[in-house]
Structure 1
């Protein structure tokens, strides 16, 4: 189905076509008519399927046709990065319409807060916000939602994971009861159903390939122990022809450590984590998006906060604890019908996690042979202070193995 077939406002369609949009993705083809018809909607679709445009386009079309000059739509997002990306997409799609938008999020300086406040006071058409910062503006009295006709919750499951349920319900209390509410989520756990029941009115439902990675992803695993992970990562990044790569680790401490390791190996990379200033985070994402930075390292917060096409490689340095997070991570590659590679490092402790992932995606993941030069790297174990084994030590391997006795102490 082409975008001309939706009968969008001419100025909006001009913006859509100028961005290179021609044929609608399945989620767009199914969701846009429902939203244009005015129905509430629950839509479940994996990352990289075009869901942002599937709700933005009908909302923009409504604003175009009603000539609204006040805040008409509110989009809630879990992270500042996603809020900014949605705002940028509004700017591109609505370029010829004169529709205005404002991203509202925390983490910036006083100047950023003041800029957001001015945008709100100027009655921008669309506000894209993280829940916490939005509540700050609501309680200050500067923000009024009397004219809002559309509420969108993007990545609602992630917002609930981050503990935003009470904030969402508080925000909904400021909105007119008569409105169109759209809930988009990559997963559909029971708490999402509860939220939907409380804020939606007789919603239509759409499910698109729930929890299934895109067909264009070449999924691979390497069986490793912890001391083999970083050397393997260096080999993958140096030896293979990957122009754009994302490395996911479980904690920001590992992210920082990997950054130092790759920098020492003369691999151009950047660490993306919460200790960075907002400006630093934005600069990293911009460089990565513009293909000026080949490697970015981050935690799961990055998996839902980045929308970049043309990513060749995703590496799971650590297996995620939740199988759904695996799908989100590898969904950063093979977007928009392209292809990509997703490699996961699996140690003995992660075998149960791997099994859960394979059950979720309903197929085994191809295991690759470890390069010969890495097989000689010995696994190191170190006793924790309280007796538990430690697997991530960097101390030297024990040179005295087998039956050879350790020299007696003097």
Structure 2
């Protein structure tokens, strides 16, 4: 199937061809016609599925059909959870909208950089704003932008927008929007909170995509069992023994990212860190060097699990396991994009084996354990978690005298998180 039957304008069809799209992905073929019809849409869009173009193309077409106004009136708002994703969405809008007779004015509103340039560029208004919630609220407080006449709202990566720290800001922004609008909700995972948000915001929404589809089949997953103290040496071994041109390594904390980059550097492996403590300019440089191939290894916290699109990225390594199955999905989804082959490796030590099993259970998939020669584990996983400290806690708070299996899994997961904290603290998002 080509893009022609989707109802796009000749200018956008040309833009699609120029970008090298030969045929629409499943989410594009389903979502684009629905959005062009003016329907509210709930879209299940796994990583690497082409979901940004799925909303960018109809958004641009709808804006191109509007009568121009001076000053420009904000008509479309795209809310995203991270700065990197905001820049990626804006780049896609720029490329696809370049050939339009009157390209819409775009503004990226993100934190980590001075607000003054954003205030200046908004003096003449804007057609589209791509924003993280916190910075958009800052701009509203400065009276730089009004949301009262927004016609199209896109919630991109809605599951991450509802993470701790985003929910309250999101609700404040939604209260400023007009009730009559088109709302598009895109998410790779659909926990109960996302379903509740969709039910409260969207009017008779159409469904696109498959909420059960998490990852493309092209991703091969491996779990290498080793001791915590051997993980860095094993990672160095993997980098030296394999002809990987780019490797994205996920760690649990900002301190852990800097520490691992330093250790890799001492071994002669050029690496860069990407985390929330870095200024936006440095984050941009790290990403660009990784994309260019100047730097082979990017060591990132989960800030990079959303918004990084590296074509044909061959390998993702979970140096530290993620906090949740959803984060695992988004991490390894950085490879194997658009049907390309990819490899995801998790380093599993004894103290996080129970947490790995919990991730596997939630995803309904078991990954066979492997060992690398010379890095076999010397520490074995405990048969069961340590007993509670007090008698009051001995029943896990519920279900009689002995902790249930679910309570024991929770306790083991907490112990694994505490062990990870010893290497730099729990995972933190930007």
Normalised to the residue count of structure 2, the TM-score between the two structures is: 0.84
Question: Hey, what does 1:80 align to over in structure 2?
Answer: 83
Question: Hey, what does 1:8 align to over in structure 2?
Answer: 8
1:334: how far off? Answer: 0.6
1:38 equivalent in alignment to 2:38? yes
Paired residues for 1:30-69 under 5 Å: 30-69=30-69
Task: Give yes or no for contact 1:39–1:180 (8 Å, CA) kept in 2.
Answer: yes
3-state secondary structure, aligned to 2:74: coil
Structure 1 Cα separation of the partners of residues 161 and 206 of structure 2: 21
Question: Hey, what does 1:100 align to over in structure 2?
Answer: 105
Which stretch shows the higher mean deviation, 19-28 or 67-76?
67-76
Question: Hey, what does 1:89 align to over in structure 2?
Answer: 92
Structure 1 Cα separation of the partners of residues 419 and 200 of structure 2: 46
1:183: how far off? Answer: 0.8
Structure 2 Cα separation of the partners of residues 64 and 306 of structure 1: 28
Structure 2 Cα separation of the partners of residues 310 and 221 of structure 1: 21
Question: Hey, what does 2:139 align to over in structure 1?
Answer: 137
Which stretch shows the higher mean deviation, 238-247 or 91-100?
91-100
Write out per-residue CA displacement over residues 337-359 of structure 1, whole angstroms, 9 at most, x where no aligned residue: 10111100111222222222323
Structure 2 Cα separation of the partners of residues 139 and 165 of structure 1: 18
Write out per-residue CA displacement over residues 359-394 of structure 1, whole angstroms, 9 at most, x where no aligned residue: 3333321333312x233x8669xxxxxx99996889
3-state secondary structure, aligned to 1:262: helix
| Gap regions ≥5 residues in structure 2 | 381-388, 390-414, 424-430
Question: Hey, what does 2:174 align to over in structure 1?
Answer: 172
1:318: how far off? Answer: 1.3
Task: Give yes or no for contact 1:26–1:208 (8 Å, CA) kept in 2.
Answer: no
Question: Hey, what does 1:263 align to over in structure 2?
Answer: 265
Structure 1 Cα separation of the partners of residues 97 and 24 of structure 2: 17
Moved over 6 A (4+): 387-394
Structure 2 Cα separation of the partners of residues 305 and 231 of structure 1: 29
3-state secondary structure, aligned to 1:66: coil
1:68: how far off? Answer: 4.0
Task: Give yes or no for contact 1:9–1:65 (8 Å, CA) kept in 2.
Answer: no
1:202: how far off? Answer: 1.5
Match of 2:360 among 346, 358, 364: 358
Structure 2 Cα separation of the partners of residues 193 and 218 of structure 1: 30
Write out per-residue CA displacement over residues 139-179 of structure 1, whole angstroms, 9 at most, x where no aligned residue: 22121234321000001110111322222222122222211
3-state secondary structure, aligned to 2:308: coil
1:63: how far off? Answer: 1.1
1:39: how far off? Answer: 0.8
Write out per-residue CA displacement over residues 249-269 of structure 1, whole angstroms, 9 at most, x where no aligned residue: 111121111101100011111
Question: Hey, what does 1:383 align to over in structure 2?
Answer: none
Write out per-residue CA displacement over residues 16-47 of structure 1, whole angstroms, 9 at most, x where no aligned residue: 21111121111111111111111111112221
Write out per-residue CA displacement over residues 37-88 of structure 1, whole angstroms, 9 at most, x where no aligned residue: 1111111222111111111111111112224443210000011111111111
Task: Give yes or no for contact 1:27–1:49 (8 Å, CA) kept in 2.
Answer: yes
Task: Give yes or no for contact 1:312–1:340 (8 Å, CA) kept in 2.
Answer: yes
| Gap regions ≥5 residues in structure 1 | 381-386, 395-410
Q: Per the alignment, do residues 356 and 391 of structure 1 end up closer, same or farther by CA in structure 2, a change over 3 Å counting?
A: closer
Paired residues for 1:255-404 under 5 Å: 255-371=257-373, 373-375=374-376
Structure 1 Cα separation of the partners of residues 41 and 350 of structure 2: 42
Structure 2 Cα separation of the partners of residues 218 and 123 of structure 1: 47
Q: Per the alignment, do residues 67 and 285 of structure 1 end up closer, same or farther by CA in structure 2, a change over 3 Å counting?
A: farther
1:245 equivalent in alignment to 2:223? no
3-state secondary structure, aligned to 1:102: strand
Paired residues for 1:92-241 under 5 Å: 92-97=95-100, 98-109=103-114, 113-208=115-210, 210=212, 212-241=214-243
3-state secondary structure, aligned to 1:201: coil
Q: Per the alignment, do residues 10 and 119 of structure 1 end up closer, same or farther by CA in structure 2, a change over 3 Å counting?
A: farther
Question: Hey, what does 1:29 align to over in structure 2?
Answer: 29
Question: Hey, what does 2:385 align to over in structure 1?
Answer: none
